[in-house]
Amino acid sequence: MAAGVVLAQSKAPPPPKLEPLPEPPPIALDPELEPQVTIIQRENELVEEVRIGGELRFIKVTPRHGRPYFLVPDQNGQQFIRRDSLDPGLKVPLWVLFSW
């Protein structure tokens, strides 16, 4: 005679009642910190001057034919330095050594 094991199955407890999340507080935007963009359309290029707090931060130049570039003021703010992007990170060259 074989004895069987019978396990009692209990009902799963009901899920807890969830309360709605409170509304987030409104964000007060400071108009002085909002970027002010001046767009100048020229014959061969589009120039976008970006100012924050009245200070010129950078100029984006998009030529009609070619890649856009940026003009960023130097530390003295007297001259502009041309950059291909605004990414200040170090660019490490990468090469494929092995491939199969």
**How confident is the model over 5-27, as pLDDT tens digits?**
666 667 788 888 888 888 888 87
Helix ranges (DSSP H) in the chain: none
Starting at the edge strand that comes first in sequence, how are the strands of the sheet with 69-73 ordered?
A: 36-41, 45-52, 55-63, 69-73, 80-83
pLDDT of 21: 87
Buried-state track 43-62, b at ≥16 Cβ within 10 A, e below 16 = eeeeeebbeeeeebebbbbe
pTM: 0.56
pLDDT of 16: 84
Structure tokens at 30: 């400071």
pLDDT of 47: 95
Domains of the chain: 36-83 (2.20.130.30)
Residues of the chain with pLDDT under 70: 1-9, 88-91
| Cα radius of gyration rounded to whole Å, the chain | 30
pLDDT of 61: 94
